[in-house]
Amino acid sequence: MRIKVTCFAVSLLCSVLFNVKVYAQGIGIFDGQTDVGTVKHAGSAQYDAKLQQYHLTGSGQNIWTTHDDFHFVWKKMKGDFILRTNAAFIGKGVELHRKVGLMIRSTLDSNSKHINAVVHGDGLTSLQYRKTVSGVTEEKKSSITAADVIQLERKGNTYTMSVARKGDLFVNEEVSDLDLGDDVYVGIFICSHNADVSESATFSNVRIVVPAPADLVPYKQYLGSSIELLDLETQNSTIIYQSPRSLQAPNWMKDGKSLIYNSEGSLYKYDLKSNTPSVLNTNPAKNNNNDHVLSFDGKMLAISSGDAGPSIGYTVSAAGGEAKRVSVLGKGASYMHGWSPDGKYIVFCGERNKEFDVYRIPSEGGPEERLTNTPGLDDGPEYTPDGKYIYFNSVRSGLMQVWRMKADGSEQTQITNDDYNNWFPHISPDGKWIVYITFFKNEVAPGDHPFYKHVFLRVMPVGGGPSKVVAYLYGGQGTINTPSWAPDSKHLAFVSNSLEESKIKSQDRK
C-alpha cells in the first residue's frame, strides 16, 4: 500500500521522517542501536556473550513505501563488506509481515536510501531497496521462502543477497547501480509491521566481513583470522580467538582441551580453557605450513616444513620436541595429511615429476608407496578410524571432488558429484561423518584452494549420501586443511578471515 505524506506541518514531517532515538552504547560487534522513525514501543537489544547471539525486540509500522519504522542495531562502515546472520523469530507473532534481516542505510533518517535482505513472518524472503531519499521501496523476491541464513554483500554499488534454509546452498538476488554513499550504517533489524505490538527475534552467527582487496598479493599479504568453534547440532559458531595475522588449520587434540594451528611458519598449541596460544618446539623444522596432522592416539604430529626448498615431512611429539624427517629428500614436495590408526603409516600428497598423487610412507621413515596415479591433482588423504579406507580429493572427473579408496589404493570411488569444488574430507572420530570444504567453481579453479573466498563447510554420511551445509563463511586456504573434529564428533574448529577483526565482545575471547 502506498502512503502519501503531505507536508502540512513541519513538526509532523519531522516526527514522521526524522524521529531517531539513538542508544550510543555499543553492543557486541555493533556501535549502537536505534529506533528509526516513529515507534510506540521502544526497541531493545541484548547480547549473549557466551553464545555470541543477539536478542532483538522492536515494533514499528513497516519498512516500506517512502519511510521506515523499526529497531536497528548498527555499525558505521565504508568500502566493501559482507554481512551474514542466522535469524529466527521468537514466538508465533501477530502480523504475517513482521520482518527480520540485514540492512544497509545511508542515514538513520526514516526516509533514507537503503537496502535490506529480509525474511517476513509468513516466510517471504526478499531484497528490498529505496534508491532515493523518500523514494518508494522496490523489491526482488527470492525463489525460496523462510530462509534461516541471510547474507548481504556490497561490492561498489552492487548488492547481492544470498539466502538459504539451514543446511542448503545459497540462492542469490542482486541489485546494481544503487548509490548509498561510501559511509553507511550496517546491521541487523526487526520490525513488527504493527505499530501497537512488539516482536522478538534471535540473531546468531552474526558476522561483518571485510574481504580481500582486489590488489592483494596472494601468499604475500594476509587478512586477519578468527578461530571458530561450531556446534553441529545448533549450527551456532562462536569466535574464540582473533588475530591480525594469518592463523590456519586447527587440529582438535584428543583430550578435547587444546587445538594445534600454524601461523607464520610456527605451530601453536591453543589452550581452550585459558584461551592462550603457546609455540610448539619443532626444531629443526622452522617453516611449517598448514599440512599437519595428529596421530589417532594423540601422541604424535606429522608436519610439513619447507625450510630450504620443497615441503618435507617430519614427525614430532604432540607436546613439542625435536622433529624427525620421514619423507625422502630429493623426491619433490611432500604434504602430510593422515596417520593410519595403528600409527605405522602416514599418507601424504607428494609432488613427483610434476604430478601430485597420494603416497604412503612408514611413520618411522622408509620407502614411499604411490597409491594414486591418475593425471591431475590428488590431495588431502586421510584414513578412516577403522583403517579400512582412505578418503582424498581428486580433480580427475573435471571438478575437485571427494573420493575414497581402500587402504592399499584399490577400488578408487567417487563420493561427491556436484557443481562445486570439494576439498579436504575429514572423517569424524566416531567414523560416521565427513566434513569437507566447498569452493564455488566461478571463483576458483578446480585444482586450487586459495585464501579469501566464499566457501561452505558441508557434512555428509561417511558412506555417501546427501550433504548439508553447516557453516557459511569467508575463508578457504587454512580453514580446514587438517582434521578439525572435536573428540565428541559433535563440534568442529575452523578458521574464517576478514581484513579487520570483528572485535567480538565475549567472555571467552582473549
Write out pLDDT tens, residues 7-63.
Answer: 323 333 333 333 444 444 579 999 999 999 999 999 999 999 999 999 999 999 999
CATH code at 426?
2.120.10.30
Q: What is the pLDDT of residue 150?
A: 98
Selection from 508, 478, 496, 416 nearest residue 50 by Cα: 508
Q: In what order do the strands lie in the sheet with 81-90?
A: 44-48, 53-58, 199-209, 81-90, 149-155, 158-164, 171-175
Sign of CA dihedral 201, 507, 247, 321: negative
In a domain, 458, yes or no: yes
Using an 8 Å Cβ cutoff, are 350 and 343 in contact?
no
Query: If we measure between CA atoms, which residue out of 91, 19, 14, 24 comes closest to residue 55?
Result: 91
Single-letter code of the amino acid located at 228: E
Q: Are residues 104 and 22 in the same domain?
A: yes
264, 409: one domain? yes
Q: Are residues 97 and 152 in the same domain?
A: yes
Domain assignment of residue 68, yes or no: yes
Helices (H), 59-172: none
Question: How far apart, in whole angstroms, are the C-alpha atoms of residue 230 and residue 71?
Answer: 29
Does residue 476 sit within a domain? no
Which tops the pLDDT comparison, 25 or 2?
25
Domain that holds residue 401: 252-468
Least confident of 25-34, 345-354, 377-386: 25-34
pLDDT digits (tens, 9 = 90+) for 436-473: 999 999 999 999 999 999 999 999 999 788 999 999 99
Alpha carbon 343 to its chain's center: 32
Q: Are residues 204 and 266 in the same domain?
A: no
Question: Are 482 and 290 contacting, i.e. CB atoms less than 8 angstroms apart?
Answer: yes
What was the pLDDT predicted at 15? 35
Q: Does residue 195 sit in the same domain as residue 304?
A: no
- The model's confidence at residue 502, banded by pLDDT at 50, 70 and 90, is low
Residue 429 in any domain: the answer is yes
Together in a domain, 52 and 141: yes
Range with the poorest average pLDDT among 19-23, 142-146, 154-158, 251-255: 19-23
Sequence-distant (6+) residues with CB within 8 A of 508 are: 49, 50, 238, 240, 275
Distance between CA atoms of 317 and 321, rounded to whole angstroms? 6
- Three cell numbers written together for 265: 611458519
Give me 397's grid cell: 572427473
Answer yes or no: are the C-beta atoms of 66 and 134 closer than 8 Å: yes
Cα angle value 246/272/498 (rounded, 5°): 25
- Give the span between the Cα atoms of 56 and 495, in whole angstroms: 28
Strands 21-23 and 44-48: unpaired
Could you tell me the three cell numbers for 403?
Answer: 573420493
DSSP 137: P
288 and 187 together in one domain? no
pTM (2 d.p.): 0.93
Q: Are residues 318 and 258 in the same domain?
A: yes
* Spatial CB neighbours of 12, under 8 Å, sequence gap ≥ 6: none
263, three cell numbers: 601461523
CB of 314 within 8 A of CB of 282? Answer: yes
- Peptide bond just before 466 cis, omega within 30 deg: no
pLDDT number for residue 139 = 98
Q: Is residue 345 part of a domain?
A: yes
Residue 256 covered by a domain: yes
Tell me the percentage of the chain whose pLDDT exceeds 70: 93
Q: Are residues 169 and 257 in the same domain?
A: no
Are residue 158 and residue 307 in the same domain, yes or no? no
Are residues 198 and 296 both part of a single domain?
Answer: no
- Nine-digit cell at 368? 614411499
330 is a domain residue: yes
| Domain tally, the chain | 2
Answer positive or negative: Cα dihedral of 358, 362, 363, 364: negative
Strand partners, 55: 46, 202
CATH code for the domain in which residue 84 is found: 2.60.120.200
At residue 449's C-alpha, the angle toward residues 444 and 453, to 5°, is 60
- Of 209, 241, 270, the residue that ends a domain is 209
The three-class DSSP label of residue 401 is strand
Q: Look up residue 377 and give its three cell numbers.
A: 591433482
Is there a single domain that holds both residue 201 and residue 256? no
The verdict on residue 503 lying in a domain is: no
Measured from the Cβ of residue 229, the count of other Cβ atoms closer than 10 Å reads: 21
Domain boundary among 209, 228, 262: 209
Please report the pLDDT score of residue 57 as a whole number. 98
